[in-house]
A and B are shown apart, each in its own frame.
Chain A
Amino acid sequence: NAGVTQTPKFQVLKTGQSMTLQCAQDMNHEYMSWYRQDPGMGLRLIHYSVGAGITDQGEVPNGYNVSRSTTEDFPLRLLSAAPSQTSVYFCASRRTGSNQPQHFGDGTRLSIL
Chain B
Amino acid sequence: EDQVTQSPEALRLQEGESSSLNCSYTVSGLRGLFWYRQDPGKGPEFLFTLYSAGEEKEKERLKATLTKKESFLHITAPKPEDSATYLCAANQGGKLIFGQGTELSVKP
Contacts and interface: CB of A to CB of B under 8 A. Distances in A.
Contacts, number: 53
B94 A4 contact: no
A102 B46 contact: yes
Contacts of B31: 98-99
B43 A42 contact: no
Interface in B28-51: 31-32, 34, 36, 41-46, 49, 51
A83 interface: no
Contacts of A90: 43-44
A40 B100 CA distance: 6
B101 A42 contact: yes
B44 to A, nearest CB: 5
B interface, size bucket: 20 to 34
A36 B94 CA distance: 17
B45 A104 contact: yes
B85 to A, nearest CB: 10
A20 to B, nearest CB: 19
B49 A42 contact: no
A45 to B, nearest CB: 6
Nearest to B98: A42
A21 B60 CA distance: 36
A2 interface: no
Contact of A45 (B41, B87, B96, B100): B96
Nearest to A101: B46
Nearest to B34: A101
B32 A99 contact: yes
Contacts of B43: 4, 90, 92, 104-107
Interface of A: 4, 31, 35, 40-45, 48, 58, 90, 92, 98-99, 101-107
29 contacts: A4-B43, A40-B100, A42-B87, A42-B97, A42-B100, A42-B101, A43-B44, A43-B89, A48-B95, A58-B95, A92-B43, A98-B31, A98-B93, A98-B94, A99-B31, A99-B32, A99-B49, A99-B51, A99-B91, A101-B46, A101-B49, A102-B34, A102-B46, A104-B43, A104-B44, A105-B43, A106-B41, A106-B43, A107-B41
